[in-house]
Structure 1
Amino acid sequence: MSPAEADTNAISVHLDRLLTERGMTLTDLADRVGVTVVNLSILKNGRAKAIRFTTLTKICEVLGCQPGDLLTHTPQNRLPREGEADRPAG
């Protein structure tokens, strides 16, 4: 994988929208979830490389949402599924 490919992220984070809809600040969320504002800011700005399920669970509990409300996947170059490349078109 090239460095350019490694930096490509097809996951979008919608934390800003959820916070706005709930009238909550990032600081409020950080306090209630038990993580630092810096870590939530990294997530909010799409720079996070990973998120613990325990953190995701707590964010969803506090915001009253599902993981799919917070994160979406937009494939950029979808790879063929197993067996898909072997099938003839048509």
Structure 2
Amino acid sequence: MTINILTKDDLDKFKNELIQELSNMFHIKTTEQKLWLRTSEVKDLLNISSGTLQNLRANRILSCSKVGGILYYNYKDIEKLLSDRKSS
């Protein structure tokens, strides 16, 4: 039975590699993100119900555009909503 000992340097190296890989994954996700999202995509993204999304629209917290009976939400508006909520 072999015993492996991890040093602080090993853990630091692993942490840096993990952070770099997560950063790369995040970068790929944001560059592939669609600019306009449908209602179902917004609900999934924010993990909210239809009623909550309707309240966000009614209270003018999140704006949308209606095209041919379908509501579309700008992804940048959703990012702004999340960053505003995070800072308060």
TM norm structure 2:
0.29
The structure richer in helix per residue is 2
TM norm structure 1:
0.29
Computing the radius of gyration from Cα coordinates, the structure with the larger value is: 2
- Greater RCO (CA < 8 Å, at least 6 residues apart): 1
The structure richer in strand per residue is 2
